[in-house]
Amino acid sequence: MPLSPETKFVLDLLRRIIAHARTVTGDVSRADRAVNLALARNPRPPGMDADRSFVLGVLKTISSAVRDSGHGIPAPPPEAVGGAISGLELRDREALSLQRVFGLSPQGIAQVMGEPAEVSEERIRRAVETVEMALVPRAVALCR
């Protein structure tokens, strides 16, 4: 029996949420615990109109769970999310993941992370610059 569009949507959404949590934490079991906590605290209301608030609620809970677990969170191993991303600070990784995985604007990221939009913009700029420099050091050197 084929899946309904609603079921496909929810499965894709869960895949993205799990990918984001694993990118931020770098640890499968911690990510899964954060996702389970977030889903338990933010039950999905019926109807597609509630999707944005549901996703923001889940992402806020994941952000809080990661932040509350301490700042000594090690960077994910290179094989988890790629060597370039693993060197980013925790909150920069989180902002970049929210932008790339969910397509959130700096304002949406600020809402999830509980900080001003200007701070989110700076986090994204810094993260992208760091990743670019790690991925293409020769090209960056040639441009200077």
Q: 142 pLDDT band (50/70/90 cuts)?
A: very low
Instruction: Indicate the SS3 state at residue 70.
Output: coil
Q: What is the CATH number of the domain that holds 18?
A: 1.20.140.160
pLDDT in tens, 22-39: 777 777 787 788 888 887
On average, the pLDDT of the chain sits at: 74
If one counts the domains in the chain, the total is 1
Rounded to 10 deg, the angle between the 5-25 and 28-41 helix axes is 130
For residue 124, pLDDT over 70 is answered with yes
Q: Which two tokens stand for residue 102?
A: 């969910």
For residue 97, pLDDT over 80 is answered with yes
Cβ count within 10 A of residue 103: 9
Rounded to an integer, the average pLDDT of 5-32 is: 77
Instruction: Provide the residue range defining the domain that includes 124.
Output: 5-143
Tokens 């000594």, residue located? 72
pTM of the model as a whole:
0.62
DSSP at 48: G
